Amino acid sequence: MASSGESEDYTHYTPRLNQRDKHRQFTWLEGLLLIVLILSYLLGYGIQISIIAEKYSLEDPPKNRGLYLLFFFLPHLTAGLKNLQYHIRESREEDDENSVIGWVINLVFLPVSPLIRLLRAGKFGMTEKENRENGLRFVDELLTAAVLRLFDVLLGDAPTLSLLLRDDVWSRSGDWKDLASGQQEYLRCSPACTKEEIQVKIKFWTIFRMFFLVSKMAQGVTSYLVAMKRFQRLQYPEHYEHLRGRHSRQGRLNIVATFLLYFANFFFIGSRVMGYSMVSFTWGSWVYLILGAHWLINSAWHLITILNTHGITAARSVSSLVMGGVWLFVITNEQGGRQLGRLTLYYLLAFFETAICSFLWNIALAGSGDFFAFKASWALLAVFTMAVLCLLVYYSLCHPGSPSISSRGLLCCSGNRRDPLPDEEEEVESTSV
């Protein structure tokens, strides 16, 4: 897929065909990955609809149940409009994309735009044998679908899960206490004494959909990070020739590294959702103060990153606002290069946010005797710690580039965080002299 050197959103690359790399981009593993992503997307769509239907069918509906509708329609609409922006750019640059059928598909199926990109990726991947360029277009479509899913999972599933935790966990502490205690019996003596079992009201479906939403979010973020890494290495192969192993040079992570990234995202996103839902349950609208402050910090941070390289436009400002919302749940890296400083600063901010959420929870429920009063704070800290440990193991043992600390690696706001190659460093030094 061709694109201009700079897009009006965060960086979008065009991979270059490296004649030295004769390996296929689409294999049976990529085909299996596409099937998993498509099924996960469709199942998640169905689960969101079922949650909305359930909340609107209750005799005693939860407060602000309209937010379930908002967080279903808004992210899918945002992803669809972003996909339409991509299609407009493609139609200007490639004649085969500027067809009536293409426009109809992208307009009619706007609410399921990631599905369109995943199907296009499969189409290009299966024709790679006839045209090697289609292998690169497969990776490009895979990355585009992953970007669109960021809007879906982090601006839709994450707030929905926060609402579920508020309505189905924290506000039903008695039911969860019964579930933790197991099946119990009580004595009923009117008119005759009989023993009856206490029916636990927490169903498997209540637990399954919460874990599935976290898993879907972690899967979406992991697929984005893997696709972006792979895309960058196709765009700049000379920067990665020194890496260990053929798969590393191609940007492909091994299974262990991929699962470590997945679990790191799983636990970290889970900790963000837990913290926000805890504040929402105990302090109500105060959660918007925490969200708003963190959102503004993230948006300003992302905008500074763009200013360092591209300058500011209206579209890039909007993109920074959107990515500020995405960064509430996970940091992304669309610029490439080392980012030790960014990760360190981001996780420090996340730790302070976790501490604030726990502090507010403890103040509100101190001495209440609530089942979660003491447990929730420790669970939040444990989940956050697990995310940090998974990330440390990944960068220590599984990162293909053996990352090290450097002056550029410690920069937190550099728009071009890619470290130069040794030859480039020598050229820079000679030029400065």
Task: Give the residue from 322, 326, 331, 324 showing the smallest Cα distance to 293.
Answer: 324
Task: Give the residue from 394, 412, 413 showing the smallest Cα distance to 402.
Answer: 394
Count how many Cα atoms sit within 13 Å of the Cα of residue 389 in the half-sphere of its side chain.
7
The distance in angstroms from the start CA to the end CA of the chain is 41
- DSSP, residue by residue, 32-60: HHHHHHHHHHHHHHHHHHHHHHHHHH-SS
User: Is residue 165 within 8 Å of residue 277, measured between CB atoms?
Assistant: yes
Task: Give the residue from 144, 99, 98 showing the smallest Cα distance to 119.
Answer: 144
For the chain, the structural domain boundaries read: 28-180+201-419
pLDDT at 12 (0 to 100): 47
Phi, psi of 378 (to 5 degrees): -70, -35
pLDDT at 9 (0 to 100): 44
How confident is the prediction along the chain (433 residues), in pLDDT tens digits per residue?
433 333 444 444 455 555 555 667 888 888 898 999 999 999 999 999 999 999 999 888 887 888 999 999 999 998 999 899 888 888 887 777 778 888 999 999 999 999 999 999 999 999 888 888 888 889 889 999 998 998 888 888 999 999 999 999 999 888 888 777 765 555 555 566 655 555 667 788 899 999 999 999 999 999 888 888 788 777 766 666 666 555 555 556 677 888 888 999 999 999 999 999 999 999 988 889 999 999 999 888 888 876 665 566 666 777 788 788 888 888 876 655 556 677 888 899 999 999 999 999 999 998 888 899 989 999 999 999 999 999 888 877 776 555 444 444 444 444 444 444 444 444 433 323 2
- 320-327: list long-range contacts, CB under 8 Å, 24+ apart: 322/78, 322/151, 322/155, 323/10, 323/298, 323/299, 324/295, 324/296, 324/297, 324/298, 324/299, 324/300, 325/154, 325/155, 325/295, 325/298, 326/150, 326/151, 326/154, 326/155, 327/298, 327/301, 327/302
Burial class for 284, CB neighbours closer than 10 Å (0-12, 13-18, 19+) = exposed
Q: How far is CA 250 from CA 105, 153, 193, 237, in A?
A: 32, 27, 72, 8
Residue 197: strand pairing partners: 185
E strand segments, 252-386: none
Q: Supply 262's token pair.
A: 């997945």
Output the pTM of the full model.
0.81
Give me the amino acid identity at 14.
T
Quickly count: other Cβ atoms within 10 Å of residue 25's Cβ: 24
d(C-alpha 303, C-alpha 138), whole Å: 30
d(C-alpha 274, C-alpha 71), whole Å: 17
Q: Supply 185's token pair.
A: 């019996």
User: Is residue 166 within 8 Å of residue 257, measured between CB atoms?
Assistant: no
pLDDT at 175 (0 to 100): 83
What DSSP state is assigned to residue 197?
E
d(C-alpha 228, C-alpha 142), whole Å: 9
